[in-house]
Structure 1
Amino acid sequence: ARTLEYPRASRLPLQWGHREIVEILLEKGATVNAMGGDDGSVLCAASIGGHHDIIIPLLAHGANVNMECGEVGSALQAATRPIQPEKSVQLLLEKGANVDASGGRHGTPLQVASQWGYRKIIEILLENGANVDAAGRDYGSALCAASSHGHLEIIKLLFDHGAHVNVEGGEFGNHLTCKTKTIQTPLEKGANVNANFGKHGTTLQITCRWGHTDIVEMLLEQEANVNVMGGDYGTALCAASCYGHHEIVSFLLDHGADVNMECGGLGSALQAAAGPVWLKTVRLLLDRGANVEVIGGKHGTALQIASRCGYIHILEILLKKGVNINAVGRHYGSALCAASIGGPDEVVISLLDHGANVNLECGEFGSALQAAAGPLWPQWMQDSEFGEDGRREYFLKSQRAELLACRTKIVQILLEKGANIDTNFGKRGTTFQIASRWGHEDIIEILRRHGGDLYADEPPDFGKDTPRGSA
């Protein structure tokens, strides 16, 4: 039997609504329930296009009204979109479509229709017994889908049909964390202002992340817990600090936010602000008692973070506060090691002028000199798949010369300040061996002039992938 999947062009009559061609294909024995393609099934393809007059013959020829069609879910889920006429939805329901089908990416038909704010279809679904609190998929519930897109009238309609205010589920947690512009209605209905679930944490945290000062004030008036932990940002203060929302940071501190509370991967609020170079926020946090020595999160102290990112102005602010310039810990080991990886050379010079130990052991990178001689990019960037069309390769090649020139200059500066060329911290070998492995010829030449020895104290994992013959 033929299927509507071959040739590929045979799906076009479904998508574009050519009923006569569809009927010819059916008369020639096309298999009506064949699966394949972006739309999954022929019934889903017709439903996506809202082609009511094509859905009828497909159902008459035995199309399975509840067949799951991949990402779009069922035909009913596919039909519940704003361009679709209500009669397609009504027809599918009359033919036995499951009103609570939850396949595909976007959840039940009610969740999909709520996402798009299509009131008439929502009313049809509710009249046919749709579960208003059904949970699952991206949005978790119809209420969250409507809240996520700011459909206030739909939110009220769902409440009128018994939607529960604190239903959990989906990426966002509950509807209160979905869209701050619609927040007043859920609060009036008794939503739990401190609900903490989903990747974004509490409503206060996500509101702080987006910088909605007026809503932050509203939530705090509703007794939102300013120091609750959760979500990607850890705390509301870290979320606001990470994005430089100075006014909100000040407001949170006035309402009892703990300035030194650790926020998970970001560390403290000061560390979160030091990365994205929010000078005003950094100054405010320091004025309110932020601890400059905290070694939390993934990337170490605020000084290490600022050094890695090359933020000379934040570096100077932290140094004036008496920060321990040789503190060791976390991914980069020390501020000097972090600066030697990221540059620019002005940061390295500033750290050395303020007493950074040029030969300090810095964890996995070894010394600052070893770090400067290493790979120009982290392994995740080298392994990234974003370059399937050549973009990654173009980016790496276009930036290589500039980055290598910066690293070469840093190596020269470190050697002039007394860096030990034969230091062999960690498993990567000496600086000469590391530079040879990565093919940094300019750095190799500088090291040769300073007496570097390729084979001195050869480490166990200095293997055959290293270009010995060229050294």
Structure 2
Amino acid sequence: MKELNLVCLLLFCGKCSSYVIKPESNEATADQMYEITTDGTVGTTEAVEEITVAYNDTIGIKHIVFFRGTSALKENEKELLEASTAGNLEQVQQLLAKGVNIEAKDRNGRTSLLEAVKNGHQNIVQLLVDHGAKVNYEHIRREGMKTLSYAVETGNKEIVKILLDNDVNIRAIFSLALRTAVKLNQTEIANLIKNHGYTSLMVAAIDGQIEELTRLIKNGADVNTKLEDGYTCLMTAAEFGQADIIQILLDHGADVEARNEKGYTSLMIAAELAEIYAVKKLLENGADVNVKDDDRELNSLMIWLNNDGDNKEEYNDIVRMLLDHGANVNDKNKYGSTSLMLSAYNGQFEVVQELIKYGADINTKDNQGSTSLIEAVGAGNVEIVKELLKHGADVNVKDNSGKSSLMHTAHFYVELIEGEDAKDTDWDAHAKRGDAKKRKKVEIAQILIEHGADVNSSDNEDDTILIKASFTNAMMHLFQFFCQVELTSVQRITMDLPV
């Protein structure tokens, strides 16, 4: 005989229904509810888009549900996107004549201009630009791709020219596009970009032309000249990893602490792009490792750790160099996160070890009350969870919502799948990804309990781990697992469980 929470029993017996509230509504009224099944199936809720709040009016408990709705585009906007993608010039002209919104984005952030550029439709690109399409639009929802970089990837020099001639002036766009062109050995396109957006001194720095750089400086070129976005020649050299050029610029008075409009220094730029030799050279010349950017208040170490979790040994050397030159291992960003929290979430196991070695505070909290352990648990990073526990992470500490690290093992719901229309979604593949995550969560839950996690801990809404686990059938494994441990609850019933 074991004791189970009443809420779990009702949900798993199918005697309660879940509802979703329309995004524009703050209250759950009868005409604003759409029934969905307890296994997360969207059903007929096509009118509901974005992330919604689910509400069970039988037991009065809210939880978050992510699912796809219909396309965010109106019918004529969808036609414009499809015509631009297919290269149907006549249809694009007709739709533009009707005044269709040229900047409309679909659920994945695609615009007609982006699709025309990506598919190499030069005539449509020109037409859209002539009708006022924003060339500087940054497509950052999925892969960080930019309009100009799409053109570079297709190798279409004429489209690159159109974009450059129509005010592509965001440094991030130039930088990514130029690095892409260099990587793909597209010399002509690379030269187009360099000649459009950089000074002669910067071009020499990018290309590592020491003699040309020296000649320009000797003839009076100012090494500290800034572009409109605050970019200097030293930043450009740092971005492209030109260590020898960096030394020459510094020897001729380049300001190592100069900032661009984002508040980035040359060291931050080199760290973000993992340009190890540039980082080394700048540190040798006294670059401040603890200065922070203006937006997120990140120092150079945090900026590197905000990358995608790459654990290549060469990249981890950057962490060691920054720490050896005095990086504050316990410094916090705008959100209260430390370097250890960032690396724990990103799955950077070797970096976590290094940060602990340099004195990182394992149990410090961010603005939401989260710790490095909670971050690692939330991301499903099993080995990092073990490492943090080995070094004294508090297994029962709670975040501001009252959730312990154990409760975060049950805190994932039906995920929003990006990149496809709902009708084309590969639900089987998604289920497999969910199964992998599920197994990690169960493994982490077991590890936490072995280290003394309180299975009866409740959050600020008096929900326990078992209640959290009950809300989606994706958590059935955790539900079954928690039936094997001693549980208590304010509301309890007794029932026989199969062995």
* Matched residue type, 1:349: K
Match of 1:318 among 335, 340, 355: 355
Matches within 5 A, 1:50-449: 71-73=125-127, 103=132, 137-139=167-169, 180-181=206-207, 190=221, 193-195=224-226, 197-198=228-229, 201-221=231-251, 223-230=253-260, 234-263=264-293, 264-265=295-296, 267-275=298-306, 276=309, 277=311, 278-298=315-335, 300-330=337-367, 333-363=370-400, 366-375=403-412, 382=416, 384-386=418-420, 390=424, 393=427, 396-426=430-460, 429-439=463-473, 440-449=475-484
- Contact 1:117–1:154 (Cα < 8 Å) also in 2: no
For the residues of structure 2 that align with 1:345 and 1:237, how far apart are their CA atoms? 32
Shift of 1:35: 3.3
State which structure, 1 or 2, has the greater radius of gyration over its C-alpha atoms: 1
For the residues of structure 2 that align with 1:314 and 1:284, how far apart are their CA atoms? 12
Any idea what the Cα deviations from partners look like across 1:211-254, whole Å, max 9, x if unmatched?
23344345434533322333568332222222322211111112
Are 1:36 and 2:94 counterparts?
A: yes
For the residues of structure 1 that align with 2:287 and 2:458, how far apart are their CA atoms? 45
Matched pairs, number: 340
SS of the counterpart of 1:359? coil
The higher-RCO structure (CA 8 Å, 6+ apart) is 2
Change (3 A) 1:298 1:428: farther
For the residues of structure 2 that align with 1:191 and 1:392, how far apart are their CA atoms? 56
Shift of 1:346: 1.9
Change (3 A) 1:270 1:207: same
Determine the structure 2 residue equivalent to 1:111. Answer: none
- Contact 1:140–1:174 (Cα < 8 Å) also in 2: no
Q: TM-score if structure 2 supplies the norm length?
A: 0.54
* Matched residue type, 2:303: A
For the residues of structure 1 that align with 2:127 and 2:245, how far apart are their CA atoms? 36
Shift of 1:318: 1.4
For the residues of structure 2 that align with 1:139 and 1:296, how far apart are their CA atoms? 28
For the residues of structure 2 that align with 1:270 and 1:442, how far apart are their CA atoms? 38
* Matched residue type, 2:468: I
Change (3 A) 1:389 1:138: farther
Change (3 A) 1:153 1:451: closer
Give structure 1 stretches of 5+ with no counterpart: 1-8, 16-31, 41-68, 78-100, 108-114, 123-133, 159-166, 458-471
How many percent of aligned residue pairs carry the same amino acid?
A: 20
Change (3 A) 1:283 1:424: same
Larger relative strand fraction: 2
SS of the counterpart of 2:270? helix
Shift of 1:340: 0.6
CA RMSD of aligned residues (A): 5.0
- Contact 2:250–2:256 (Cα < 8 Å) also in 1: yes
Q: TM-score if structure 1 supplies the norm length?
A: 0.57
